[in-house]
Structure 1
């Protein structure tokens, strides 16, 4: 069963932008759209509350979210790993990511493809 609402979020250098898509039968349309810009005029507390505001809005209208981040905010590496079973693959990738990442493994999101 497909969802009737999907939210797309773009995290940019100057703020956040989100769009709510709603489905009516076989037609999708934009139901809501908002830009939340970061500015020097906003207090640090207000800027920290932007994700909280988004979570409240998203939780009311959609269960699926697509997120886009600027590539300069990502750490992307191509690595070679030994042949392992499918069950072991994720663990091996996480170990390799932990080796080259400057971030603690408990705050990283690791994705991979073959």
Structure 2
């Protein structure tokens, strides 16, 4: 997951490239905290990929994916960066990774817990 300008994206390695899951429009305001959640079921077409900002589901603008997922072994995950030298300019707090996609209700509850 990384930030480019005021948008966010999440990309996945596949046999045909790197599909990007990008929310529609600018989501983040500088100098404000945001609760950001990305859910994904592992399908490279992105039919069930969703972005939530401050508990609200945002429309996806770009889903480009085909092929099949490649193995994640041998890769290090990056949070706030794409690769070495490509970093998010801000603060990240309370990173959570689940082994399932959270429901909209669960995401809203997590957002409200932080307020």
Regarding TM over 0.5, the answer is no
More relative contact order in 1 or in 2 (CA 8 Å, sep 6+)? 2
TM-score norm. by structure 2 comes to 0.24
TM-score norm. by structure 1 comes to 0.24
Q: Which has the larger radius of gyration?
A: 1
More strand per residue: 1 or 2?
1
More helix per residue: 1 or 2?
1
